[in-house]
């Protein structure tokens, strides 16, 4: 479905001039020889912080940007050589809600865009009715979009992107700006599109919960490079451990006082409410009953699974929230 080979894109950014300086130009590498492929029917997430290059990559695939070098193809059609053919094959959902006409109703919006896709009047009516039902907006078909919630506009944007029955749907931050319930409705909709209608999904996100909920496969992107590729569980396994145990104990403990069985490793000791909290890293196998026999006076034991943020730190050497960013709209 998607083939990318050594895609590279660099931007020239001029710093704002000041009284003492005319401004300096600097180069920002948004993409650095990005290569990957996606098969038909896959649900793939592009996970990275703001400024990692996600939007740049999606805009190249959707013919909105031209790379400096490299090649990309959708269903074997070269993105650079045949952009019009590529646009017929994809549906695109960008973050801006202003991609809809707010004074028009939901149905009027879909019929307007259906006309831009050269659908007949009959086909436009059929697709509009079907898609409004698919995204759960049938009862709001004749309501102006300006009265919609953010979540409803997101649903309508997805419906608009599916009017011409594309086999590939590209989404940039599909649940950004939504509350918890709104996010889950969008996630459920996307999974239904993939499993019931066979639509291939490529979505960019910096939401860890979204990355674990929707895609079957993740591409970790950092500073313009693909750093890891695999299922969420495979990505988390790259952290090299299987989670942590937190054990609260009365009294003061030092590292010399803590003797752990095989398969457990002490990461840290913290002072908590007059006692000590042991942070213990778990390897592939460990014996919890044996551990509890060693610490019979434990007042609390908690296990925490490895997160995608943990894996990101291991893979990139930086915490997810601490990475340097550039305005995502620019790259």
pLDDT in tens, 102-145: 999 999 999 999 999 999 999 999 999 999 999 999 999 999 99
CA 168 – CA 165 distance, rounded (Å): 9
Among 57, 71, 79, residue whose Cα is nearest residue 331: 57
Q: Looking at residue 117, what DSSP letter applies?
A: T
* Token code pair at residue 162: 């599916």
CA 186 – CA 171 distance, rounded (Å): 11
pLDDT given for residue 60 in this prediction: 96
Q: Looking at residue 141, what DSSP letter applies?
A: T
pLDDT in tens, 30-89: 999 999 999 999 999 999 988 889 999 999 999 999 999 999 999 999 999 999 999 999
Q: What are the CA-CA distances from residue 263 to residues 242, 244, 282, 283, 308 (Å)?
A: 10, 12, 6, 5, 22
CA 251 – CA 298 distance, rounded (Å): 11
Task: Characterize the bridge pairing of strands 217-222 and 43-47.
Answer: parallel
* Token code pair at residue 235: 């990505």
- Tokens 């509350």 correspond to 179
pLDDT in tens, 309-331: 888 888 888 877 644 443 343 33
Query: 3-state class of 194 per DSSP?
Result: helix
Task: Characterize the bridge pairing of strands 2-14 and 69-74.
Answer: antiparallel
Among 214, 209, 179, residue whose Cα is nearest residue 195: 214
CA 218 – CA 228 distance, rounded (Å): 8
CA 225 – CA 222 distance, rounded (Å): 5
pLDDT given for residue 200 in this prediction: 95
Say if residues 310 and 277 touch (Cβ distance below 8 Å).
no
pLDDT given for residue 39 in this prediction: 95
* Token code pair at residue 310: 């943990």
């Amino acid at each position: 479905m998607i083939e990318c080979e050594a895609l590279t894109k660099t931007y020239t950014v001029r710093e704002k001039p000041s009284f003492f300086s005319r401004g300096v130009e600097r180069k920002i590498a948004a993409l650095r020889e990005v290569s990957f492929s996606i098969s038909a029917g896959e649900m793939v997430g592009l996970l990275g912080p703001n400024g990692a290059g996600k939007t740049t990559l999606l805009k190249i695939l959707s013919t909105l940007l031209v790379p400096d070098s490299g090649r990309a193809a959708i269903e074997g059609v070269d993105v650079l050589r045949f952009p019009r053919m590529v646009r017929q094959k994809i549906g695109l959902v960008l973050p801006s809600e202003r991609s809809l006409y707010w004074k028009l109703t939901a149905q009027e919006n879909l019929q307007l865009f259906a006309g831009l896709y050269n659908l007949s009047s009959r086909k436009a009516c059929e697709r509009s009715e079907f898609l409004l039902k698919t995204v759960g907006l049938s009862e709001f078909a004749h309501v102006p979009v300006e009265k919609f919630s953010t979540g409803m506009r997101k649903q309508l944007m997805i419906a608009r992107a599916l009017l011409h029955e594309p086999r590939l749907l590209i989404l940039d931050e599909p649940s950004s700006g939504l509350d918890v319930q709104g996010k889950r409705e969008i996630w459920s909709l996307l999974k239904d599109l993939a499993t019931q209608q066979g639509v291939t999904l490529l979505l960019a996100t910096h939401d860890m919960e979204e990355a674990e909920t929707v895609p079957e496969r993740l591409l970790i992107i950092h500073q313009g490079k693909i750093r890891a590729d695999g299922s969420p569980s495979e990505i988390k396994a790259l952290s090299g451990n299987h989670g942590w145990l937190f054990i609260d104990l009365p009294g003061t403990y030092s590292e010399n006082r803590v003797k752990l069985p095989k398969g457990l490793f002490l990461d840290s000791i913290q002072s908590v409410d007059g006692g000590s909290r042991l942070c213990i890293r778990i390897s592939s196998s460990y014996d919890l009953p044996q551990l509890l026999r060693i610490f019979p006076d434990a007042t609390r034991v908690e296990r925490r699974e490895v997160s995608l943020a943990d894996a990101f730190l291991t893979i990139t050497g930086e915490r997810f929230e601490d990475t340097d960013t550039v305005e995502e709209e620019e790259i």
